[in-house]
């Protein structure tokens, strides 16, 4: 649906935008209304307030909702299936035990962090952290020292991957709204996310763990839970003798990345005129490298490789089916965020904001980070902050004529803003704090500081790359 001609001037439109965001925060924070319902309600009210014809309101809402879901639902659903298969078959434990065995006792925090980065590619932050928690506590119990030495590098790895790298819903949703190339977002997310994790999570985790002596919480049964010793794993082994090999897990995690890189590389060669993009062979290779197709291939391979020796076909079906329920709410909230962004574009609010930012002279990437950070602090949800910010700045981006790489870096900047300053209105704050037995003050000194470092370093790196590339 084409954007309508704005019925109001710039100042009234901007005031409506401020009021809409304030109402959204009021509904979510004070009245505790579900984010999906709040976003749909505010989107409808904003459409009416800005003068969109009544007979076009529903079409405008559905346009924004549907276009966002078209890019989000496939990726999130397939990513959840892959993550669930790796979780149920013991893939997380295999990653941790193998890396700890190879890195050694002194580098156990680094090994746990690297395993979490790999496992965090397809699985969401909260699920990944909970799955890894028994491993973290067992390692902490075995090697000694503050549990923060082992927990923060792992928790930070899951948080970084969840914020920066598709197929997680935040970066996928923002990329869809801004029409950024998801493959490039993945590549930029990894280039920025890995060094960000190393400094903000691993090094900070070592620093905090040496200054805050936090014992292993007894309430979570941190005794070493050993299965049959497979040898060479430093004493931390899988809970099942039928767990997949490390090489199998690693190949499954790298498969979609390799396919997506193939697509990106062929696109670059086609632009440079080094390959003919119209040939059937190049077209087929680019197709398998499209993000959704790459994840589809990986999901099918994971079902066959992980399930064939461990589960029946009906059990594999049950496992992947169980992965979809928990992500439905996330998909709907992301789609509703796209709906809100669609209303902002169609009503002319986005264009008004674009004109205002142009007058101020604030770079788009800086404005994106600041808006996302403000929304994150105010209402807690990173997904809401990501999708709302993407909708607000989409018209600015459309008018700026940015390159595909710059678009991807703007997505990372938004993700950075939506990650920083996690506090009491964020579920991740309570999840990490409660599972590690920390009070609110200690959680603020550790988890909140780490999340803020992730956001600030991620934004700094994306800004620098935007000036260079």
2 part of a folded domain: no
CA 93 to chain centre: 22
CA angle 385, 389, 394 (to 5 degrees): 155
Give the per-residue pLDDT at 459.
Answer: 96
The pair of three-digit structure tokens given for residue 445, joined into one six-digit string: 């000194």
Number of domains in the chain: 1
Q: Please answer whether residues 34 and 83 qualify as being in contact, where contact means their C-beta atoms are separated by less than 8 angstroms.
A: no
Residue range of the domain that includes 136: 10-468
- Please state, in angstroms and rounded to a whole number, the distance separating the CA atoms of residues 135 and 171: 28
Q: Please answer whether residues 442 and 378 qualify as being in contact, where contact means their C-beta atoms are separated by less than 8 angstroms.
A: no
Q: Is the Cα torsion angle 339, 340, 343, 348 positive or negative in sign?
A: negative
Give the per-residue pLDDT at 237.
Answer: 33
Does 167 sit behind a cis peptide bond, omega within 30 degrees of 0 on the bond before it? Answer: yes
Q: Please answer whether residues 85 and 94 qualify as being in contact, where contact means their C-beta atoms are separated by less than 8 angstroms.
A: no
The torsion defined by the Cα of 341, 337, 401 and 295, in degrees rounded to 10, comes to -150
- Please state, in angstroms and rounded to a whole number, the distance separating the CA atoms of residues 208 and 251: 33
Q: Which of 66, 93, 39 is nearest to 336 (CA)?
A: 39
Q: Please answer whether residues 163 and 420 qualify as being in contact, where contact means their C-beta atoms are separated by less than 8 angstroms.
A: no
- Per the confidence metrics, is the pTM higher than 0.75? no
In tens digits, what is the pLDDT along the chain, a chain of 469 residues? 444 445 567 788 888 888 887 888 788 778 888 888 988 999 899 999 988 889 989 999 998 888 778 767 887 788 778 878 877 887 766 776 787 778 777 888 998 898 889 878 777 787 678 767 767 877 887 788 889 999 999 999 999 998 898 878 788 888 888 888 888 899 999 999 999 999 999 999 999 999 999 888 764 444 444 333 333 333 333 344 477 888 888 888 788 878 877 876 777 677 667 777 778 888 888 888 887 888 899 889 988 888 766 788 888 888 888 888 877 877 787 788 778 877 877 887 766 765 666 567 778 899 899 888 888 876 667 877 888 888 888 888 888 888 889 999 999 999 999 999 887 667 678 778 877 888 888 888 999 999 999 999 999 999 999 998 7
- Please state, in angstroms and rounded to a whole number, the distance separating the CA atoms of residues 299 and 307: 11
35 part of a folded domain: yes
237 part of a folded domain: yes
Q: Please answer whether residues 434 and 151 qualify as being in contact, where contact means their C-beta atoms are separated by less than 8 angstroms.
A: no
CA angle 270, 272, 278 (to 5 degrees): 25
CA angle 173, 178, 181 (to 5 degrees): 80
Q: How would DSSP label each residue in 346-400? A: HHTHHHHHHHHHHHHT--HHHHHHHHHHHHHHHH--HHHHHHHHHHHHHHHHHHH
The DSSP letter of residue 29 is I
Q: How would DSSP label each residue in 133-197? A: HHHHHHHHHHH-S-THHHHHHHHHHHHHHHHHSTTSHHHHHHHHHHT--HHHHHHHHHHHHHHHH
């Amino acid at each position: 649906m084409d954007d309508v001609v704005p019925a109001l001037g710039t100042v009234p439109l901007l005031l409506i935008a401020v009021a809409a965001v304030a109402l959204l925060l009021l509904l979510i924070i004070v009245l505790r209304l579900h984010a999906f319902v709040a976003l749909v309600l505010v989107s409808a009210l904003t459409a009416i307030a800005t003068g969109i014809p009544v007979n076009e309101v529903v079409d405008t809402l559905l346009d924004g909702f549907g276009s966002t879901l078209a890019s989000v639902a496939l990726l999130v659903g397939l990513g959840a299936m892959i993550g669930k298969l790796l979780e149920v078959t013991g893939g997380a434990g295999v990653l941790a035990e193998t890396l700890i065995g190879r890195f050694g006792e002194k580098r156990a925090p680094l090994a746990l962090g690297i395993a979490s980065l790999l496992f965090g590619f397809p699985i969401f932050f909260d699920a990944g952290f909970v799955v890894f928690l028994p491993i973290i506590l067992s390692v902490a119990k075995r090697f000694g020292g503050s549990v923060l030495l082992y927990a923060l590098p792992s928790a930070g790895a899951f948080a970084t991957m969840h914020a920066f790298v598709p197929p997680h819903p935040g970066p996928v949703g923002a990329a869809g709204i801004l029409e950024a190339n998801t493959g490039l977002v993945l590549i930029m997310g990894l280039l920025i996310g890995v060094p960000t994790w190393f400094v903000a999570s691993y090094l900070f985790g070592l620093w905090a763990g040496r200054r805050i002596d936090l014992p292993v919480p007894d309430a979570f049964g941190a005794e070493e839970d050993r299965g049959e010793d497979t040898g060479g794993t430093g004493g931390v082994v899988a809970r099942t003798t039928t767990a997949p090999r490390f090489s199998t897990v690693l190949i499954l995690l790298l498969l979609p990345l390799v396919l997506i890189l193939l697509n990106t590389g062929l696109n670059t060669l086609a632009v440079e005129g080094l390959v003919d993009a119209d040939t059937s062979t190049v077209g087929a290779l680019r197709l398998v490298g499209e993000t959704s197709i790459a994840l589809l291939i990986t999901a099918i391979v994971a079902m066959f490789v992980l399930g064939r020796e461990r589960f029946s076909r009906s059990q594999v079906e049950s496992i992947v089916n169980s992965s979809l329920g928990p992500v439905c709410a996330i998909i709907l909230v992301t789609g509703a965020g796209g709906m809100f962004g669609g209303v902002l574009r169609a009503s002319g609010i986005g264009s008004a904001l674009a004109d205002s930012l142009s007058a101020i002279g604030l770079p788009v990437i800086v404005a994106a980070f600041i808006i996302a950070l403000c929304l994150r602090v105010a209402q807690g949800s990173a997904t809401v902050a990501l999708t709302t910010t993407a909708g607000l700045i989409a018209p600015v981006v459309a008018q700026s004529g940015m390159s595909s790489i710059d678009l991807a870096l703007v997505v990372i900047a938004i993700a950075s803003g939506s990650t920083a300053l996690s506090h009491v209105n964020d579920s991740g704050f309570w999840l990490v704090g409660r599972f590690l037995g920390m009070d609110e003050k200690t959680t603020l000194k550790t988890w909140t500081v780490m999340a803020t470092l992730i956001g600030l370093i991620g934004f700094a790196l994306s800004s620098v790359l935007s000036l260079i590339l």
